[in-house]
Structure 1
C-alpha cells in the first residue's frame, strides 16, 4: 500500500482536529508522521524505504519493507572501497523501544544482517564467504536538537572482521511546519579501530521535505558524503 504525501498531510489535520491542542499528543503525531522522511530503519506500516548512504569506508544501499511499525526487512548491499570487497544480504531491523515525551522522542533499534561477501582483492581470488553483522542504533531528538549513536560488528570469514561505530549531534537553525523544507546542521564522528584513519569527523547538512531526505558533507580526510532516503 502506497502512502501519498497528501494522505499524510490530511492525516495530520484530522489528528489535530480530533485531539485539539494537547501538546504531548500533537508532538508525538508530528514526529511519527515526519518520520516518513527520516533516516530511521523502520517506517510506517506497509511502507517501503530506499536508503542510499555513504561513509568514510563504504557505499551502501538498503531497500526495506515495514510490515508493521515495529520491524522492517529488506536487501542490503555494500561496497568497501579500500579493501575492494562487497556484501549482499538480507537485513532485519527491529524497534526495541520508543519513548515519547512532551517535547522529545527516543528510539532503540536492533539490526542484523546475513548474506555473502565477495572479494578479488590481493590474495582473495574471486573468493566468496558467508557473512553476517549485528548492531544497535539509538537516537533522541526534539524539534531543535538531535543525537544518535550506532555500532556494528561484522564477520565475513577471511575477507573481513571488524567493529565500527559512529555518533551524530545536530541542531535545526529554524523550526518549520509540517510540509516545509527542514534543515539540520550536523557533525558525525566515525570510529573504526581497524582502519588507518581510526577516527574521522564529518560536518554535514541534512535537508528533508515530505518523504525525501538528502545529506551532504565533507569528512576530515576529504571524502565527499552524500546520502539520500526516499519513503513511499
Structure 2
C-alpha cells in the first residue's frame, strides 16, 4: 500500500514537472522550445494514455530551414517505484522542410525519429533524448542531450516548484558540437517554464509548456 500511495503522489508531481509528450487521455498540450540550435512550437492531443498526435513547426537557425509537419509520440514503457518514476517515449515525425536565408529555394520531404527517456524522484531528475532528422537536400542531422536536475525543496501539489538543472547536448554537425546549458525550471499547476543560457554558443534556452 505504501508503494501504491507513493507512486500516485510521484505521478502527480511528475506530470507537472515535465513537458510530457503524452498527457492524460483527451488532453491538449502546447509547447514552445528554444535552444542553441532551433526554435519550435508544437501542440499535441493525447489520443490514449500511450499515444499523442500533434503538429510541429521548427525553425532551425543553424541549418537555415523551417520544418512543418506531424509528430507522433508513444509511451513505450513506464516504471513506478516507491519513490521514483521512469518513462521511455519513442517519437516519429514527418513533414516538409523549406530552406530560408542562404538556403532559400531548397525544400523537400523531411522526417525524424528519436527517443525520450527520464527518471525522477521528488528531488532528483535525469533525462536523455536523441533525434535523427533527414531533410533531403537540406541535409541530415543528429542530436542527443542529457540533463540532470535537483529540486532544492519539496513542494506540495499546487505549489510553485523549482528545479536547478544542467544540460549537455551533442550535435556533431555543428561548429561547436558539444553544448553546456545551465537552466532553472519552474512549474505550477498546468504551466511549466524553463530559462537558461548556453555557455558554449552564448544562446538562450527558453521553454514553455501548458496543459489544457
Fold in common (TM above 0.5):
yes
Give how far 1:37 is off.
5.2
1:79 matched residue in structure 2: 59
Root-mean-square deviation (Å): 1.2
CA deviation after TM superposition for structure 1 residue 82, in Å? 2.5
Tell me by how many angstroms 1:98 deviates: 0.3
1:51-90 aligned at under 5 Å gives the runs: 51-90=31-70
* 1:205-224 correspondence runs (5 A): 205-220=184-199, 221-224=201-204
Q: How far apart, CA to CA, are the structure 2 residues paired with 1:228 and 1:48?
A: 14
Three-state SS of the structure 2 residue aligned to 1:133 is strand
Q: Which has the larger share of strand?
A: 2
The equivalences for 1:10-89 within 5 A come to 22-34=1-13, 35-36=15-16, 38-89=18-69
Say if 2:16 and 2:192, in contact at 8 Å, map to a contact too: no
- Displacement of 1:126 in angstroms is 2.4
Alignment of 1:1-232 (within 5 A): 22-34=1-13, 35-36=15-16, 38-122=18-102, 124-220=103-199, 221-232=201-212
What is the CA–CA distance in structure 2 between the aligned matches of 1:37 and 1:49, rounded to whole Å? 14
- Residues 95, 111 of structure 2: 8 Å contact kept: yes
Distance of 2:162 and 2:2 partners within structure 1: 23
Instruction: Provide runs of 4+ in structure 1 moved above 6 Å.
Output: none
- Match of 1:31, SS state, is helix
Distance across 2 between alignment mates of 1:72 and 1:36 = 17
- Structure 1 distance, partners of 2:209, 2:31, is 5
5+ residue gaps, structure 2, are none
Bigger Rg over Cα: 1
**Cross-structure match for 1:17:** none
- Check whether the contact 1:57–1:80 (CA below 8 A) recurs between aligned residues: yes
Cα contact 2:56–2:68 (8 A) shared by 1: yes
Structure 1 unaligned runs (5+)? 1-21
CA deviation digits over 1:174-227, x for unaligned, max 9?
011111111000000110000001001000000000000000011112211111
Q: Provide the TM-score with structure 2 as the length reference.
A: 0.95
Q: CA 1:175–1:37 in structure 2 vs 1: closer, same or farther (change >3 Å)? A: closer
Rounded Cα–Cα distance in structure 2 between residues aligned with 1:30 and 1:186: 22
